[in-house]
Chain A
């Protein structure tokens, strides 16, 4: 188990390394000269050149990359224009927003977490629950309604659902405040009321997929021998479904959920844009637009970390849930 974990972590690190190199190179291929956004209205080539020097943009690519990576591990000294000493994990200084990137991340990450985690809980409960019920009550009106729900959900898009929810609940009925982010620890009620629409929209669309998936899995599992055997042995229905079938049916759900949650944590760009909330996703988009290298690097890396970690976690969970899976 430990060996497996080590191996997975090694490959994960390799992936992250590749992501960082790729992002770094991609940035330097951008048509945008980031320096011109720092230099104001009446800038001249000489000053541009000096800003470039100050930011180290004239150094060889390798040493720039090495500097950035070193900053993450050991911290490093940035110039006086960039806040001086930057402790590990140093994500650099954004010359666009004029703050340490770690501060930006610390600000926007809780926003994205607050959107994704409750939404994920909601969509998993709703999706898996709906899928199970419709599998067990196969052919009834309940089943059909659930299928209708999931097909509709799978055919709608977040920007559309979100806009409709906003219009109905916020602007027309005025039941909810305009979405915004308040820290959970400052005011839980405001936190929830400001984000609930985003949760509902995400949960609606995602649970549709999960309902389909878990229904199919459940049906497949129910027809498998071991469930029939368990039933034949005279085990009570709830016990069979609860212990045997659910367990087996949920395995693929976990796989997809891990990837979805990991991906969503890496930035719910569309959700954040639709509801006008500044999280990791919009920050990343803004950073790319303004050519803000340190912020691009940080947001892309964090997104990648979430996806990669989710992958590792899924593998572990997989083993924990389904004893048939042996860890290689």
Chain B
């Protein structure tokens, strides 16, 4: 049924819960659906493995400066004396040594390991921030459109269509320098935080549509449910209705789409680097590294391997976790 061998078990357990009909038999506090999901998640070996991996990645990213101290090499330090006349690292596998665990970048001779650690930090930050913002925009717009319907729904739908019709990469390519110019003029120093901010903003502008559509659909389905009418009959306001009544019922799909959006933004950052919108060389990021490394596929495959395997592992872990999360939150769906 699903990827998870544990999940069938968990489901069976829920169905055969002897307390279901007679709550009095057991303790006073019931298990919320969220708690049940958490339980299922904890029993899913894949979820635990991928979750631990993700936490590990996040800790690595957060601890980057500490790792730099321990490792003794900074992300901008160059070791050109370890390069040959063509700027290719000397030694085996792209210059892997005890000092340089993942070898050196060709040309500039910077240490790949420490740059990857810092890149992890940048990429995770961008992806999480973008996913949070897009989820927020998507939830608010989707819930409003779905619940209120009518002309508001039509307008939000149209904006969604419009956003989807705009070629994202092209617009990002055109807007990024424009925005930078507006903020910094032609001479100011552009901080890396700003570059990161622009990227997040670009994602925010284009990334909310799927969440909005998802939430809208879910809200429309819920709108006709009687508990919503019961709330209305009690005279609740719009905010209470959307965020207290409806949202708790759709946070599962939102959470799943969030967990699957994060890896998407990680790879999108790389895609933007590909057309030259990404971050500048000053800020180490996965996107920039993989983009720069691809040129060396034939001459220094190790340079491609390390960022490549790292970004794959990160995205793969997210996807696994997202899948497991979906299974845990919605045992009936077998996605």
A→B interface (CB under 8 Å): 11, 14-16, 18-19, 22, 26-27, 29-32, 138-139, 144, 147, 151-152, 154-157, 159-160, 163-164, 166-167, 171, 212, 215-216, 219-220, 259, 263, 266-267, 269-270, 273, 281, 284-285, 288-289, 296, 299-300, 303-304, 307-308, 311
A300 touches B167 (CB 8 A): yes
- Using Cβ atoms and an 8 Å threshold, which residues of chain B touch A266? 167
- Using Cβ atoms and an 8 Å threshold, which residues of chain A touch B164? 259, 263, 307, 311
On chain B, the number of residues with a Cβ less than 8 Å from chain A's Cβ atoms is 45
- Using Cβ atoms and an 8 Å threshold, which residues of chain A touch B181? 31
B275 touches A155 (CB 8 A): no
B167 touches A267 (CB 8 A): yes
B165 touches A157 (CB 8 A): no
Is B271 close to A, CB under 8 A? yes
- Using Cβ atoms and an 8 Å threshold, which residues of chain A touch B166? 19, 22, 300, 304
Quick one: given A26-B174, A273-B275, A296-B174, are A267 and B169 in contact (CB under 8 Å)? Answer: yes
A31 touches B275 (CB 8 A): no
Is B94 close to A, CB under 8 A? no
Q: Give the shortest distance, in Å, between A281 (CB) and chain B (any CB).
A: 8
With both beta carbons as reference points, the residue of chain B lying nearest to A166 in the complex is identified as B297
Chain B contacts with A in 117-137, Cβ cutoff 8 A: none
Is B249 close to A, CB under 8 A? no
Most B CB atoms within 10 A — which of A151, A155, A164?
A155
With both beta carbons as reference points, the residue of chain B lying nearest to A282 in the complex is identified as B275
CA distance A215 to B334 in the complex (A): 8
B177 touches A270 (CB 8 A): no
A30 touches B177 (CB 8 A): yes
CA distance A216 to B263 in the complex (A): 21
Is B78 close to A, CB under 8 A? no
Is B323 close to A, CB under 8 A? yes
Quick one: given A19-B162, A155-B315, A159-B271, are A26 and B175 in contact (CB under 8 Å)? Answer: yes
CA distance A27 to B294 in the complex (A): 31
CA distance A300 to B175 in the complex (A): 14
Q: Give the shortest distance, in Å, between B130 (CB) and chain A (any CB).
A: 17
- Using Cβ atoms and an 8 Å threshold, which residues of chain B touch A163? 294, 297, 304
A15 touches B335 (CB 8 A): no
A26 touches B316 (CB 8 A): no
CA distance A166 to B298 in the complex (A): 10
Is B171 close to A, CB under 8 A? yes
A303 touches B315 (CB 8 A): no
B165 touches A308 (CB 8 A): yes
- Using Cβ atoms and an 8 Å threshold, which residues of chain B touch A19? 162, 165-166
Q: Give the shortest distance, in Å, between B56 (CB) and chain A (any CB).
A: 17
- Using Cβ atoms and an 8 Å threshold, which residues of chain B touch A284? 167, 170
CA distance A288 to B170 in the complex (A): 7
Pick from B174, B175, B291, B334: contact of A216, CB under 8 Å = B334
Most B CB atoms within 10 A — which of A27, A288, A303?
A288
With both beta carbons as reference points, the residue of chain B lying nearest to A306 in the complex is identified as B165
- Using Cβ atoms and an 8 Å threshold, which residues of chain A touch B333? 216, 220
Contact with A along B155-186 (1 / 0, CB 8 A): 00010011011110111011101100100001
Q: Give the shortest distance, in Å, between A253 (CB) and chain B (any CB).
A: 13
Instruction: List 18 contacting pairs A-B, 8 Å CB cutoff, sorted by A.
Output: A15-B158, A15-B161, A15-B165, A22-B166, A139-B1, A151-B323, A155-B316, A160-B312, A167-B297, A219-B334, A259-B164, A269-B169, A269-B275, A284-B167, A285-B275, A296-B170, A304-B166, A304-B167
Q: Give the shortest distance, in Å, between B232 (CB) and chain A (any CB).
A: 24
- Using Cβ atoms and an 8 Å threshold, which residues of chain A touch B174? 26-27, 30, 288, 296
- Using Cβ atoms and an 8 Å threshold, which residues of chain A touch B294? 159-160, 163
With both beta carbons as reference points, the residue of chain A lying nearest to B1 in the complex is identified as A138
- Using Cβ atoms and an 8 Å threshold, which residues of chain A touch B320? 151
A154 touches B319 (CB 8 A): yes
Quick one: given A266-B167, A269-B169, A308-B165, are A151 and B319 in contact (CB under 8 Å)? Answer: yes
With both beta carbons as reference points, the residue of chain B lying nearest to A28 in the complex is identified as B178
Most B CB atoms within 10 A — which of A160, A163, A212, A300?
A160
With both beta carbons as reference points, the residue of chain A lying nearest to B186 in the complex is identified as A31
CA distance A156 to B266 in the complex (A): 11
- Using Cβ atoms and an 8 Å threshold, which residues of chain B touch A307? 164-165
A159 touches B170 (CB 8 A): no
Q: Give the shortest distance, in Å, between A224 (CB) and chain B (any CB).
A: 12
CA distance A216 to B1 in the complex (A): 10
Q: Give the shortest distance, in Å, between B221 (CB) and chain A (any CB).
A: 15
4 tightest A-B CB contacts, nearest first: A216-B335, A155-B316, A303-B167, A304-B165
Pick from B165, B298, B319: contact of A155, CB under 8 Å = B319
- Using Cβ atoms and an 8 Å threshold, which residues of chain A touch B319? 151, 154-155
A16 touches B165 (CB 8 A): yes
- Using Cβ atoms and an 8 Å threshold, which residues of chain B touch A27? 174
- Using Cβ atoms and an 8 Å threshold, which residues of chain B touch A300? 166-167, 170-171
A285 touches B312 (CB 8 A): no
CA distance A19 to B163 in the complex (A): 9
Contact with A along B194-237 (1 / 0, CB 8 A): 00000000000000000000000000000000000000000000
- Using Cβ atoms and an 8 Å threshold, which residues of chain A touch B171? 26, 300
CA distance A69 to B29 in the complex (A): 66
